[in-house]
Amino acid sequence: MSRYLFTLALASVFTTQAQAQVVAYHHHSTAAGDLISAQAELRLAEGVAQFEESRAALTWEQLHKWRLERARAAKLKRLELKMKRIARTREANLARHARCARQVAERAAMMSIDVQNGRYLWPDAFRYPSLALLASEFEEVIMDRAIHTPSQARNHHHRLARIAVQARTRLARGPNGMTFDVRVQGMKCVELIEYLAQNDVTPDSCASSHLLSQTDPK
């Protein structure tokens, strides 16, 4: 009987110790278990850290790419606006130049008609003796061109070009007593002489200029 009780007590002790070891293993109650658990948690933490670092790097790369694309789009937009502004400016300049050219042509035609009719009023600059001679020669050329055939046009253009060059040179030197405003008006008249030296006044331009002279006199 005593032998049976001793065997039962010994079995109970071994069973309790085994159960204690299993419980200790799950609850890190031993040094080996704690070490294994710590290593596992360290590896897990390292993996999580690497994953977060990779995701952060990817996010930064996407942000950097987005910034580059945004800067490129903004640059292209500025370039597009600049090109449109240049095109508008060019169109405006061309329109202004064309308008100025038409005005010069109309004024030159009016000048030719008025000289032929003997009613052109020369600017004050051409009342100075050195320029009055050129004004008289200009009137002579215009009257001569009105009665001669187009075959004489080359000679008339040559004479008008010489008159324009001499008038511009004398105005640039500025006769004694000539004011700035008088000189400017004289230069505008020289522009009309230069136009007539380079272009033939057509009947259509003369007719339109004559109509303008009737509706908008000097």
Asked if residue 123 is part of any domain, the answer here is yes
Which is higher by pLDDT, 176 or 21?
176
36 part of a folded domain: no
Start-to-end CA span in the chain (Å):
152
Residue 63 lies in a domain: no
**Domain assignment present for 107:** yes
Q: For residue 58, is pLDDT > 90?
A: no
* Cβ–Cβ < 8 Å for 135, 126: yes
Considering its fold, how many domains does the chain have in total?
1
Q: How much is the average pLDDT of 39-68?
A: 81
**pTM tops 0.85, yes or no:** no
Is residue 151 included in any domain, yes or no? yes
Residue 28 belongs to a domain: no
Under the phi-then-psi rule, with left for phi > 0, alpha for psi from -120 to 50, and beta for the rest, what region is 123? beta
The conformation of residue 127, written as its DSSP 8-state character, comes to G
Q: In whole angstroms, what is the distance from residue 167 CA to residue 120 CA?
A: 17
3-class secondary-structure state, position 200: coil
Specify whether the CB–CB gap between 190 and 164 falls below 8 A.
Answer: yes
Residue 88 pLDDT greater than 90, yes or no: yes
- Percent pLDDT > 90 in the chain is 33
Answer whether residue 96 shows pLDDT above 60: yes
Confidence of residue 78 (pLDDT cuts 50, 70, 90): very high
Could you list the residue range(s) of the whole structural domain that residue 136 is in? 98-215
CA Rg value for the chain: 52
User: Model confidence over 104-134: pLDDT tens digits?
Assistant: 889 998 998 999 888 899 999 999 998 999 9
Decide if pLDDT at 203 tops 50.
no
For residue 216, what is the DSSP state?
S
For residue 151, the model assigns a pLDDT of 64
Cβ-contact 120, 218 below 8 angstroms: no
Q: What is the pLDDT of residue 168?
A: 93
* Structure confidence by residue, pLDDT tens digits, 146-193: 776 666 777 888 999 999 999 999 998 877 788 999 999 999 999 999
102, pLDDT greater than 50: yes
For residue 174, give every residue at least 6 positions away whose Cβ sits within 8 Å of its Cβ, in sequence order, or none.
183
What gap in Å lies between CA 109 and CA 211, rounded to an integer? 11
98 pLDDT above the threshold of 50: yes
104 assigned to some structural domain: yes
- Please report whether residue 172 resides in a domain: yes
